[in-house]
Amino acid sequence: MGQPPSDPPVADQAPTADILTAYDEQHAVIYLRLLDAEAEGADWAEVARAVLRIDPAQEPDRARLAWETHLERAKWMTRRGFQHLLQGGSPH
């Protein structure tokens, strides 16, 4: 796995594949920021704005969906995805 971009664009929905994707590798820092924000009890709308760069006031449905799916993917990374990283990263 190479160095992920420092501020990659965020898709409306995170991947759902049961394998590590190139998107996951590129968004690893975002996943960590989401997990940190959840641990701190941060408001989802503030997290969407600050981390995902989606304004929930202008795009509430998109912001909520992106936040929910990326947070779920971040949790998947802690349960399963990290194993793929240890094995060399994404097959793509």
Residue in the structure block whose two tokens are 């898709």: 11
How far is CA 7 from its chain centroid?
A: 12
The answer to whether the pTM exceeds 0.95 is no
| Ranges 8-12, 41-45, 63-67, 86-90: which has the least confidence | 86-90
Helix (H) or strand (E) holding 38: helix 28-39
- With beta carbons less than 8 A apart as the criterion, state whether 4 and 54 touch: no
pLDDT (0 to 100) of residue 84: 61
The whole-chain average pLDDT of the chain stands at 88
Cα separation, 32 vs 92, whole angstroms = 22
